[in-house]
Amino acid sequence: MLEQPSLPRRGLLAALARAYNKHQRAYYDPQRQRLIELRDLSRTRKGLHMTPTRIMAAAVVIVGTGLALQAASAQQPGTKRTDLQRHDLSVPGREVVQVRVDFDPGYVAPMHTHPGEEIIYVIEGTLEYEIGGKPVTVKAGDVLFVPAGTPHTAKNVGSTNGAELATYIVEKGKPLLTPVK
**Separation CA 154–CA 12 (nearest Å):** 71
Q: pLDDT (tens digit, 9 = 90+) per residue, 37-67?
A: 655 444 545 545 556 666 666 666 665 555 5
**Separation CA 134–CA 163 (nearest Å):** 21
Average pLDDT, the chain: 78
Which domains are seen in the chain, by residue range? 7-73 (no CATH), 79-179 (2.60.120.10)
pTM for the whole structure? 0.58
Phi–psi pair at 158, nearest 5 degrees: -90, 175
Three-state DSSP state, 39: helix
Eight-class DSSP state of 76: P
Q: pLDDT (tens digit, 9 = 90+) per residue, 84-104?
A: 999 999 999 999 999 999 999
Count how many Cα atoms sit within 13 Å of the Cα of residue 17 in the half-sphere of its side chain: 6
